[in-house]
Amino acid sequence: MSRQFIIEATMVAFYGELLQPSESVEYIIPYTSILELYELQSTSDIMMSNLDHDQHVKQQMKQLTTYLEEPLNRKKIERALQIPWAKSTSIPLGDSIMITVVNAVDTEVYGEDFDPIETELLLIAQRLQIPLLTDQFEFIQRIIEGGIPVQVFDIEDFQFAIEDNVFTPHP
């Protein structure tokens, strides 16, 4: 059985290690974070400190959006967009990675504390009882301080997060 994580599409493009997991994984992504990929890849703003890295990341984003636009993948995503909170059929991304897109609905549950995509990530994590994976320390800190009932991992702890004992309930 593959490990599941709630994650933004940008993180999948940013972090190469997420594309080479030691075990099978499924990334569950809010659709709005895919839309964010289009904005970020076309911006003239520099996202990375190194220009070469910046161009590489934008190229990775372009590859991911191009892949998701392929007819079969697009059809899977479009089906999910018909109903709030629907999940797409899994989209393979390599031998051991699946992507599932969720048509999440930001219900403004967390008000001013979280932006709309963060809110969707939290709501999906709560609804599906699946851990959240992020690189944003401030986001993790706000989750903890707010007492939000989700399991969250920093991307630097990705290998730890996919270990068996993390998900095994202890009596």
Q: Indicate whether 83 pLDDT > 50.
A: yes
Say how far apart CA 156 and CA 171 lie, in whole Å: 28
pLDDT in tens, 135-147: 999 999 999 999 9
Confidence (pLDDT) at 17:
86
Token duo for residue 21: 């997991």
Q: How many CA atoms lie within 13 A of 76 on its CB side?
A: 17
In this prediction, residue 29 carries a pLDDT of 97
Question: In angstroms, rounded to a whole number, what is the distance separating the alpha carbons of residues 139 and 142?
Answer: 5
Which CATH superfamily hosts domain 3-167? 5'-nuclease (3.40.50.1010)
